[in-house]
Structure formats: C-alpha cells, structure tokens
Amino acid sequence: MATRSQRLIVKFGSGILSNPKGNDLDRRQFARLCAEVAALVRAGHECLIVSSGAVAAGMAALGLTERPKQLAARQACAAVGQSRLMGLYSTMFAKHRLHVAQLLLTHSDLDSRTRHANAGNTLEQLFARRNVVPVINENDSVAVEELNFGDNDRLSAEVAQLVHADRLFLLTSVDGVLDAEGRLVSQVRDINEVADFVRQEKGRLSVGGMTTKLQAVKIATDAGIRAQILNGRKPGLLRAALAGKKVGTVFPAKGR
C-alpha cells in the first residue's frame, strides 16, 4: 500500500451497489466495499465516497421491480432511497468504528463561489476528525443530470478538484477501458487516443457509460489528479492500486 497518506476520492456506481435485479441495494457488496475503505482509513489515508444507489434503494422501499422511466418517478425513488442508502453506509462503517457524514451537492453548488467554499470548509473539518467518511451524492430530488446519464461521474471529479485530492478512483462494473478488440488498456496518457474506440456499453444497472467516465477523468487529470477506473465487483483492487499493482486503467495526472 502507498507509504504516505493520500486524499482519495472513491466513486461507487449504481451498477456495483445494486442487486442483480437493480431494485435494491446489495448488502454484501456494501459490507465489502466499506471494509476496504475502512482499511484505507486505518492505513492513514483520507477517504471520501461519491455514491450512487439512492434510486435502487427507493425502488425497494416503494415496491418497484423496474427502474421508472419517468424522471419525476426516479426523483421520488431517490428521495425515499437516500436515507436508506445512508443508513446502510452508517451501519457498515460503524462495524469499523467509523462515522459517516452526508453531503448532497449539485453542480451549481460547486459553481457558486460561496457554496463551493462552504462545501470545501465542511469537508476539511470532516477530514480533520480522522474517524469520519464523507459520503456525497447528487441532490437528485432537485437536480436531474446524474439521474439521466452521468451516474455521479462528473460530480466525483469536481469533488476531487474541490478537496485537492491525490487520487480519484471510479469503481464500475467493467475492468477498465477496453480497446476495439475488448482488451484492457492498462494506462492512458492521452484520452483522445482511446475516445474513438472505447466501447460504449455499460452495465444493465448503470446510468453512466465509459464516455462519462472519460469526461470525468479529463477533469481530474487536467487538475493534476491521478485517476483510475477499477472493477468494483472484484475484491482488493483499491489496495492493489495504491500498492502500485497493474489493475484497471490508470490515467496519470497532467504534468506528472
């Protein structure tokens, strides 16, 4: 594992947090992912989670078996599911003697100088506590971008900028960027080189695709933040990535 303390942004996509039907949260996945993040905190790293999953949690509460097509219905699911989502994070991290803090943000919050500063100050205070894991989601009851196509990808990059993170990890349901033949691309220095042949498919339960992830990666790397796409269904990859092992697709920070 990395020898020095780093500030890490870990984004969990809806496809790795939902059950196979996509109509509820996968408790076993939550237990494992939270345990892996807790291990990073114990190792001295500052960790912040950008999490999707509120819609799936709301579907379970409302007895829905399929993701609603109507935007207002998805927003209603998110409104109901957000508290269930945070309740599960709280339960899982409590097993590791860690607290969670919820922040609901929109892109306009980060575009506003005052709200941007306030969010940054709040997160700095939480990091200073050393026993709190901030969990950020888009405020889906009033904002619609992530519900429609982004799956919090761009938000995670903007949050990484906000807190001057060292690393951004995007955990999804694929191994990383795949080339035209379906082979994993282990490192990408120029996103333009892979943008033309990157596969557009996404997991059945995911909202965003690889294109939105590459857009998020560009925001992060242009800001000097190293980014990496990992398969969130495979155990131990966060630790392996910090140890310098070849996992997923790495995007070095610009100028480094």
Would the pLDDT of 146 be above 60? no
| The predicted structure's pLDDT at residue 186 | 95
Per-residue pLDDT at 49: 98
Give tens-digit pLDDT for 165-187: 999 999 999 999 988 888 999 99
Give the number of other Cβ atoms within 10 Å of residue 200's Cβ: 7
Query: Two tokens at 223?
Result: 């800001």
Residue 139, pLDDT above cutoff 90: no
Residues 6+ positions from 171 with CB-CB distance below 8 Å: 10, 11, 12, 13, 16, 33, 230, 231, 232, 237, 238
For residues 202-218, give the mean pLDDT.
73
Where does the pLDDT of residue 44 fall: very low under 50, low under 70, confident under 90, or very high at 90 and above? very high
How many CB atoms within 10 Å of residue 165? 26
